[in-house]
Structure 1
Amino acid sequence: MPDRPQPLHFLRGRGSVIQTDSRFAQWRRQALDDGWPATDDACPPRTRVSPDAARTVITRNRSPDVPFDRSINPYRGCEHGCAYCFARPSHAWLGLSPGLDFETRLSAKFDAPARLTAELARPSYRCAPIALGVNTDAYQPVERQLGLTRGILQVLAAHRHPVMIVTKGALIERDVDILAPMAEARLVQVMVSLTTLDASLARTLEPRAAAPKRRLEVVRTLSAAGVPVGVLMAPLIPALTDHEMEPLLAAAAEAGAGSAGYVVLRLPNEVAPLFRDWLARHAPDRARHVMSLVAQLRGGRDNDPRFGQRMRGQGPIAALYRQRFALICRRLGLNRRHVDLDSNRFRVPPAPGEQLSLL
């Protein structure tokens, strides 16, 4: 029996209201109707943060679909609670639910700055741009109290290491004092994730992320500070946000974005049933149409994990997206300049007790 819809106040601030089971668990939850109606006095779950016991802070990848081979995610799980988040299945590895647990039971690398310094100091380390916050947002609400992302940026700036940042959090404005000098040395690029301009849609789709208007203000702030900034329309959701491609990119260009990109909705593993549940609750009139178009983009399935296909999809709809995107970027002057981050300025952190250079 499917989970019954919860009271509306229970939904406020959370992208998921169900607990899908970890695919690695040896047990399964089953909802049972005990005959009692749902009450209105249920308390929304609070966010809990525990230490992340990972031994390294830099994660490597070999994906040909992304322009980096290493990344840092100071947090596991994300309080933004985006209903579509492709990173939700990672919580299954922790024995937690990719549903509500993903946005309420977080873990943090509390010693990330010190650990990063040690990894950069290894003799085998070779400098190349690090992507910050590409799996879970480095500027999610908990960062305001913990400051791990700022600590990481301070390490990267001190050793002149290039970094690429993707975020939908307005808290990045706090770190302009670090980002602006890094930008002058060609050490940073920022992409602000902007899914929709519709505030009411964003409130349920990505409930604890900055509002769309606020994210455009972030673009304006970073651009004014000389930080190379672009907008990433991610995800592009058929029949829900795809009609906004032209006005969204126009608003981004007006705010000062110099580049733009997009990623078609991805629904790996447990994300598919979670997103279907969100559609049933918040867009029941178009749920079937959305998933039909997703299947057309994904070869008849909810998801296509293949490299070369997973970011943009395939078929006529995917081709139309590519054409529309290229035309609007050309008209708005987006993507005319490529930001080439400089890895040659990197300074190896000194060993303990080693004298620092005066230059």
Structure 2
Amino acid sequence: MAPASSTSGSAAPLSEDRILACLAGYFPQTHPSLLLGRGDDCAVLKAGRPLCVSSDLFLEDIHFRQSYFTPEDMGYKALAANVSDLAGCGARPLGFTLCLGLPAWADMDWLNRFFSGMAEVAGLHRMALAGGDLSRSEKLHVSITVWGEPADPGHFLVRGGSMPGDVLFVVGSLGLARVGLNRLEAQGRQALNEWPAACAAHLRPVPQVDAGLMLARAGYNARPPALMDLSDGIMRDLPRLLGLTGELSVTCPEKCTGLGAEIVLPQGRLHPELLRYAAETGKNPVHEALLGGEDYALLGSCAPDMLPPLHAAIPGLFSIGVVTAGGGIECNNAPLDSLGGGFDHFDAGQDA
């Protein structure tokens, strides 16, 4: 990671041609998934089978702050958050488009650093940048659309399909990014010295792409797991997985009505930095883990006989409970709704 130095290192004015030339240095023009890449009015995708598509916004002072995000961090997280959506569908990333609104303070030095962070994620997953748009804006505005293909063999995974008796599982850490956000807000980048894992979880989340692909393959000859990207915390995302938000499952709406869950989440499953943060602030660490947003872990359910091979094959996968036939959700024998809500973009108190 480059140091968080000043972003005023280039006095030359920005122009679309300069920005596009800079971008071309980080993202190749050609890619096996593209028939036609950047430069025309549209890109042409080489789509021989169904594609999985997702879009996200990444907005200054809503999703990040300049005070503790470096340009590299901004570019990295903007794309990584989108890639996590593909992981939640068991998809292999192929490419993305980038729409970028740049404020007056952005210069070529900042752009090089921003694109280098984004290129780190794109290179890791061999993703093509197919096109996008550029504009001026008052604050930094990043809009990304990603697409991917199903695992081979395998199908895309969806949130619906859980059944009573299924095992609930998570791949990744719970609540760690929440700690990182809290400490970064309070201490700025100095928090990296005391809370390295938590800050990294917030600044540079790692999408669980390999785990998503393995889960998709596991469901090819069996009942597929239900799966989703865990980005708003278990408090908000588990009801979505179980179909309790009023949205019918596309796979089995008649089976997804009235489902509940019994969660067992011992403190020993939580990261040491989350436990230390809870001890220092007098908070309940399990509650923090359930409320935490932006973990970019995976949350899913599967038939009980599928869990042992998945646990052996996927690092970081652990069970957190079972799906029940009742409509309520409990954690460690306490009703989940007693803890309040998870992350909501429209809650003014939860902005970055």
Question: TM-score normalised by the shorter chain: which range applies?
Answer: under 0.3
TM-score by length of 2: 0.25
The structure in which a higher percent of residues are strand is 2
